[in-house]
Every structure is written in C-alpha cells, then in structure tokens.
Amino acid sequence: IPKGRITGLPTTSSGKPFQLWALGHLCTERHLARRLKDNSFYPFTQQQPNVFVLEYYLDTLWKGTLLFVVCLLFVSFGFLSQVQNQETWGFPAYGVGVGLWLMISSLPRRRLVLNHTRGMYHFSIEGRTVCQGPMHLIYLRLALNSDAYGRCFFQLVLCGHKLEPLVLVQLSERYEVGPAQTHSPPRLGSA
C-alpha cells in the first residue's frame, strides 16, 4: 500500500474542489440552500455509507493569483514606479513575490475523509498523509466576525488536530445576530 493511502476507499471523489471559495456571491444563503438541496452532506460527498469525503483547494490560490497578476501588470507597465519623485517599484515587485508564494503554497489539493464506520478521520495533501486519528479530534466552531459598524456575522469553521481551519459556510448580513444574543455561554462546571 502506498504511503498516505487509505485502504479500501476509492481515491476519486465527485466533489468540486473550488466549491468552498467565497467569491462574493450576492445571495450566499440561497446558494447554500441550493447546495444542501442537491447534496444533504454538503460540502462533503458521501463515498460509501458513513464515509464522507471533502476535496478542496485553499482560497488563497485565487487570492494569490489575483495579487500576482495585478502586481505583475504594475511592474510590467511601470504603474506606480514613481510617486512624488520617489521610486516605488518595490511595492508591486514585493506583491509579485507574495502572490507567487500564495499560489504555489495553495496548489496542492487537500482531502479530508471522515469514516464514521471506523471512527477515524484522514487528512492528506496531494495524496500524502498529514494526519489521521479518531473522529473526536475534529470539531465545528462558530466564528464571530463583525464589521466596522458593529454588525455581527458568523462563519461555520471545521477545525481539528493538525487540520487547517476551513470555513465551510459564511452568512451575510441577513443573518445578523442582535447584541442581546451574542453573550458568551456559561462555563461548564461553574457554580
């Protein structure tokens, strides 16, 4: 068995590796509802009974590509080469380097397999095992974000032991929570 492969599981998945990228959909809730109607396990795909697979690329791939292209255009055509008699070509050149680094580091495809039958998870990057372990090491958390006006927004984030935090769902301002509902829950075990 090649290193990093799970025995007994096919290596292909019908999931779309770019499905988690939040590219500024205007109706994120409608988009999510449509995805859940088509696949009740979204963003995972069911590979076998009680075995779910998520294949994805990090969203820094498109962000790095955009930064790289824009800064490369600035450097190539001499935009922002001088501002008030000061050489400023270093800023776009630095952006080219950072964009290229973001692209290259985000290119490998990630794969997360949740095997409820065995009670195990397996996380790999480009077919190489990064970590695997019991399912209780994986959890979902609700992350709170707020904008400059103090409005609260939430993200559903998949986290776990040696897993990169992965935003599964982002909710728009229509799912705002008022100030009375944003208090912290009581601590367990406190009297």
Decide: helix, strand or coil at residue 121. Answer: strand
Residue 185, pLDDT score: 39
Polymer length in residues for the chain = 191
Give the separation between CA 17 and CA 109, rounded to whole angstroms.
Answer: 8
What's the mean pLDDT when you consider all of the chain? 75
Read off the tokens for 44.
């995972």
Percent of the chain whose pLDDT exceeds 70: 69
Give the separation between CA 73 and CA 9, rounded to whole angstroms.
Answer: 45
Q: Once rounded to an integer, what is the mean pLDDT over residues 2-6?
A: 40
Give the separation between CA 110 and CA 121, rounded to whole angstroms.
Answer: 13
The 10s digit of each residue's pLDDT in 127-160 is: 899 999 999 999 988 888 887 888 777 788 889 8
What is the residue-wise DSSP string for 44-77?
SEEEETTEEEEEE--THHHHHHHHHHHHHHHHHH
Give the residue among 55, 65, 54 at the shortest CA–CA distance from 104: 65
The 10s digit of each residue's pLDDT in 110-131 is: 999 999 999 999 999 998 999 9
